[in-house]
């Protein structure tokens, strides 16, 4: 089964844009069509953005965190990566490396510019949905 890591922006878009591509991608993972992996730093960043940038209350953020944790395999990456200037992007790469992921799904231009990392493809949500379409 395809091993996938979603960037924080995918989770946030899934929660904020109903019936959008990100929500569809998350539902693909929730249905077990792919193996989704995440890490505490990714989920922590997601929670921080939902609280700070989008003014979600603590109860709603905790529900979102629990939902992601119930769908994703949570890993604890060992070893730091310092490849990109935006440190949270490095946490995505660490998670993907540790999980042995096949794909990173993101909307982040810095990650997308890499195209791949250690054999892990880096794709947009649209590309991801195209890859898994029957």
CATH class given for the domain over 3-132: alpha beta
Q: How many C-beta atoms lie closer than 10 Å to residue 126's C-beta?
A: 12
**pLDDT tens digits for 112-123?**
999 999 999 999
Low-confidence ranges of the chain (pLDDT < 50): none
Q: Which two tokens stand for residue 26?
A: 């998350």
**Residue 79 pLDDT:** 87
Q: Where are the domains of the chain?
A: 3-132
Compute the distance between CA of residue 101 and CA of residue 90 in angstroms, rounded to an integer. Answer: 15
Q: How many C-beta atoms lie closer than 10 Å to residue 77's C-beta?
A: 19
């Amino acid at each position: 089964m395809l091993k996938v890591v979603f960037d924080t922006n995918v989770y946030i878009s899934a929660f904020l844009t109903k019936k959008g591509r990100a929500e569809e991608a998350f539902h693909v993972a929730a249905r077990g069509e792919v193996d989704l992996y995440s890490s505490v730093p990714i989920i922590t960043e997601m929670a921080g953005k939902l609280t700070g940038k989008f003014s979600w209350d603590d109860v709603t953020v905790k529900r979102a965190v629990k939902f992601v944790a119930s769908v994703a395999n949570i890993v604890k990456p060992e070893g730091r990566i310092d490849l990109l200037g935006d440190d949270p992007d490095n946490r995505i790469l660490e998670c993907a490396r540790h999980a042995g992921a096949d794909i990173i799904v993101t909307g982040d231009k810095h990650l997308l510019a890499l195209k791949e990392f250690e054999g892990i493809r880096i794709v947009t949500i649209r590309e991801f949905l195209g890859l898994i379409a029957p």
